[in-house]
Chain A
């Protein structure tokens, strides 16, 4: 029984204990993203929490859009046009951004990634995976 109590305690600790925060001074960052059929370039944007981010979306072939999961933002650009999107990266973690204008067969899977600071969710998930393994092994002890 005590093992399960320890496991439950560790689970709560992993879930709610704040990770050490690297203090950074917010800066302005501008990314020029070229959108062509089914890919963004660059596709992975890394910023720090609090940064003022500007995305310049350039569509190189057909009309493409961009919306970011977790941020209520959306824009689209005609071929050759540049559209700007500015926001403060106030939510930490990893967020997918997706094309919002049907641009071809693989359109539903045209995806990029905005990384705001450390992805605590991933780290917590990885640590919990270790606990899940221990719990599974304890459940059927040999």
Chain B
């Protein structure tokens, strides 16, 4: 959490030179500042490369909606389904998040028109803002709504992921919501508090090897204008950044810092993890658990052999779907949070820890991040590669109208990963478990404290193994 008004420890942030409580320099031993590399610096400093990429994604976004609304209703023959749910969703989990954290957010087209209107400018901000510019309601802060959004996606996933019309309407809905909210609320309210994909990328960005950080906090303290904070579309104050969950890597702070005091660091994977958290807020813990529960549910519905489960998930409004919805909600709202809380509670009891359960849960939830990220990647591998031929096919015939623009419309070739993919999935799940166990050990005072949480992680891994390769 890095918005100045939200950080519980904001009193300890240096805002002027009379508070030398923290070291002048943050530990940067194992980091490489990409912003100091001569050929990268102009690419980040100028807004043009980013605008170019954003324009491309915006054009792709508009085309996706058009294809979804006008093209074939058969999902596997429509650009909207294949490019959103096979190509982009796979790229997000296999490349954007693990290697770049919230890098997708820096080029995401959904909030752009709203932001341009709000700023009264595309490349440069106007002097005055358009719209009401209200502060986001305090009650709605955190990632609760993003968790809710992700659950909503899960409830309707079988249709959303397979029906081009529905995908198009969902994208239009997100677009309209982002635009409307940018006219009412300040900054990127939609991205920070509503977007379920933002929640997904944000929480796993903590594991990624990229961060934007202040180089010398004392320089910031002496800088009274705080131009980085004023110009951040996300409303973040870089000095207060403790992790990369909220930072959308838009680079506006770098561009606006007159003292050249910000760095884009390449850092070791998982640098944000295993730091004791001072907060008692449970929103991120809940989001991490929803991600785990959703990985289980998606694996069962989409990769499992249970046809009746697929039919139930698809038949929206039917009694079977209601039962499926209740099961999904029970898994995510009761089983996962209940089991994890029980594991944390047992660990606390065994060691006689005086820390409140609420704070312990918020703290230990970091353990779930490598586990969840690797589970999502393993799940993705099971369906993305066998369906690769669809990508080539819709490039030639994006609307499913029988075109063959590139001569690849009838491609049936897909990489044959049937022998290799289960081994890769096992390796990924084991990697996630190993990493999570290490984080659990780092956070715990004793082995006994971390043991129940490790047992929770093991149980989750075994269930995923059974669902994916069983």
Contact = CB atoms under 8 A, between A and B. Distances in A.
Given A39-B310, A125-B426, A137-B437, A111 B303 contact: yes
A102 interface: yes
B386 A98 contact: yes
Interface stretch (A24-32, A49-57, A81-89, A128-136): A128-136
Contacts of A105: 73-75, 158-159, 162-163, 314
Contacts of A102: 74, 76-77
Interface stretch (B15-23, B255-263, B439-447): B439-447
B441 A137 contact: yes
A122 interface: yes
B454 A108 contact: no
Contact of A108 (B73, B162, B437): B162
Contacts of B162: 105-106, 108-109
A139 B438 contact: yes
Given A105-B75, A135-B434, A136-B434, A121 B422 contact: yes
Interface in B136-192: 158-159, 162-163
Given A108-B76, A110-B310, A128-B430, A140 B305 contact: no
Contact of B307 (A39, A121, A142): A39
B429 A125 contact: yes
Interface in A24-45: 36-41, 43-44
Contacts of A121: 422-423, 426, 469
A96 B305 contact: yes
B462 interface: yes
Contact of B441 (A37, A104, A109, A139): A139
A142 B418 contact: no
B311 A38 contact: yes
A69 B304 contact: no
Given A43-B306, A105-B163, A70 B418 contact: yes
Given A39-B307, A39-B310, A106-B158, A136 B433 contact: yes
Nearest to A40: B307
Interface string B386-427: 110010000000000000000000000000001100110010
B461 interface: yes
Given A40-B305, A69-B418, A128 B426 contact: yes
Contacts of B28: none
Nearest to A68: B418
Interface string A68-98: 0110000000000000000000000011101
Contacts of B63: none
Nearest to B455: A133
Contacts of B307: 36, 38-41, 43, 110, 112
B457 interface: yes
Contacts of A112: 305, 307
A140 to B, nearest CB: 4
A64 to B, nearest CB: 12
29 contacts: A38-B307, A38-B314, A43-B306, A69-B386, A70-B419, A94-B470, A96-B305, A105-B158, A105-B159, A105-B163, A106-B314, A108-B390, A110-B307, A111-B303, A111-B305, A112-B305, A121-B469, A125-B426, A125-B429, A128-B430, A129-B462, A129-B465, A132-B431, A133-B458, A136-B433, A136-B436, A139-B437, A140-B442, A141-B447
